[in-house]
Amino acid sequence: MEKTIPLMGLETEYGIVREDVENSDPVEESMRLLRRCEARSVFGCWDYSRERTHLDQRGFTVNRLAQDEEEDEFCAEDGKRPYTYWEMKSDRVLSNGARFYNDHTHPEYCTPECLDVFQLAAHDLAGDRIVAECARLRNQDLGRKAVQIFKNNTDYSGHSYGTHDNYMIPRRLPFDQWVKELVPFLVTRQLYAGAGKVGSEWRKGEPFSGLQLSQRADFIETVLSIETMTQRPLVNTRDEPHASPAEYRRLHLILGDANMSPYATALKVGTTQLVLTLIAEEKAPLPHVLADPVADVKRVSRDRTGRVLLKRESGQTIAPVEVQERYLLQAKRHYEGQCEEWDWVIREWERVLEELKTAPEKLSDRIDWAIKEKLFLQFMETEGVDWDDPWMQSLDLEYHNLDPERGLYYGLEQEGAVQPFLVNGEPEEARVRPPQGTRAMIRGQAVERQNDEIRSIHWTGIEFKNGDCRDLTFIVTPTQVEQALNQKKESIAWT
């Protein structure tokens, strides 16, 4: 079954700290972490000339971004370092089709393009394991466990780093229509996709004590923006499709959380894919346009019941759980029974919404914020502390630690306190092999078979040192991938 939304991917920026140095340099530590990657990969060949970060989905080109100024400041400071810009980026493209690089102050892992939610959840988890293995090797070099990696979105010092989910969507619909019909879903998706956060870092409103649903909610400032480091939006407007620009857009969402639970990851991307399919096929429910969606992101995050009332432009109100139920009803009506993957998403979507309303404690074996709530309440009762104790934010960080001996999520997993997901070796397979049926197979094969012959590489193409090129721009569907792989050997650059 070839889908209306053919490809998806996740980008995760990881927090990094070196605990044996008072003022560790995250740029230096990220670079050194990348240097310890032993996965089969091509190093330092990413083709930045193919990047188009200043084109806006709304039909114009931005001359200057706020992040350009920050990048200029970084470059001025980096000029004092004993290595080049390219050495600092430490770009790797892996044989599984993924990209792994230093996003200046964070190691970032970008999954290969995936066809379905199970592929994507497995490749996201594979990324965690690759990054954790790099940290283990780096600490082995240091002779102590000094470098710690966190799959989260805040350092509790006012800085946020992103977990971006990406979807290839048809260009034929006006961008405004995508935004109008998608925003209510995104505002309320955190009911099951939120990673949970102790306290708040939003300095413009009322302080908050307790557990929020989402880590990114405090940092969302506008509905639409091409920026990613300032004026963070619900929907990023960068027009960089990584495919035929006449046929596709890449929907770049930066409001999501980094989920430790692969179940939550699968549900997050699965429900989003279904909603985007509804919009693309013009089957979405009538949009319940929210009067102030940016403020509502924070309001939803601070109410774990899903019942806080959100004001609509019509003057009426609607609860977050009701918003989700209306999208679910349409997805169930149109897509139930079409494939095993979508049936799983619909079934679990319905299950979490029902449990949220009737028995929210049942979510504590698979939804990150609910896992935290149960764990932290038990800890506070035992230790006699409250949500405002600094200890709680430290525990929040340790929940996301990728060290299997320190990470609280991994401890719960080992105890059987969280629901197993992807238990049949899929993440280990995803560490070394690209997702079947995707153009990442072509990229991965090139890296595996002709690593030393690659001059440059990108999501949309590969150039070899002998002048041969492979253009992946128009290879999107499984049929197109199969046709490319079945070409005559003499026309395939990697054989």
The residues assigned a catalytic role are: 103
Quote the CA–CA distance of 442 and 436 in Å, as a whole number: 10
Contact at 8 Å (CB) between 284 and 262? no
Provide the β-strand partners of residue 454: 464
Residues 6+ apart with CB under 8 A from 374: 361, 364
